[in-house]
């Protein structure tokens, strides 16, 4: 299978795991807690397969950048979190910074 499909799956599982992190209410609810472990477990598994063919720096940069952007959307859509100009600009700056740092030095 194409490495980008594995990377996409890794990102989607990460987004699922992070969303369950919020639902788990500090790991006090069982089913969402299992969702966190399963989500991140599959995320790292898919990422490791994607990394067999993709360059480490690019894959990490895409995974962290797209993952954070999607999780922001999940917060806004499902938890009705407010997004104003400052916050949007802040998130974009952070994502850009993370992508640059991970491209510059893949070991992060």
What is the binding site for another protein (CB under 8 A)?
A: 18-19, 21-22, 24-27, 36, 40, 64, 67-68, 71-72, 74-76, 79, 81-87, 89-105, 107-108
Report the C-alpha gap between 4 and 99 in whole angstroms. Answer: 17
Closest approach of Cβ 65 to another protein, in Å?
A: 9
Q: Which is nearer to another protein, 1 or 31 (CB)?
A: 31
Report the C-alpha gap between 99 and 19 in whole angstroms. Answer: 22
Closest to 17 (Cα-Cα) out of 47, 60, 56: 47
Q: Which is nearer to another protein, 2 or 84 (CB)?
A: 84
Q: Which is nearer to another protein, 9 or 95 (CB)?
A: 95
Closest approach of Cβ 96 to another protein, in Å?
A: 5
Closest approach of Cβ 13 to another protein, in Å?
A: 14
Which spans in 24-55 are helix H? Answer: 30-53
Q: In whole angstroms, how far apart are CA 97 and each of 25, 54, 102? A: 29, 21, 9
């Amino acid at each position: 299978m194409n490495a980008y499909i594995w990377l996409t799956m890794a990102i989607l599982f990460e987004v699922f795991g992070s969303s369950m992190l919020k639902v788990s209410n500090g790991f006090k609810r069982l089913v969402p807690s299992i969702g966190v472990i399963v989500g991140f477990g599959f995320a790292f598994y898919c990422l490791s397969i994607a990394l067999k063919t993709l360059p480490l720096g690019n894959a990490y940069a895409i995974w962290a950048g797209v993952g954070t952007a999607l999780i922001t959307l999940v917060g806004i859509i499902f938890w009705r979190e407010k997004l104003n100009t400052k916050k949007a600009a802040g998130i974009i700056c952070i994502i850009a910074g993370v992508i640059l740092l991970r491209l510059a030095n893949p070991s992060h």
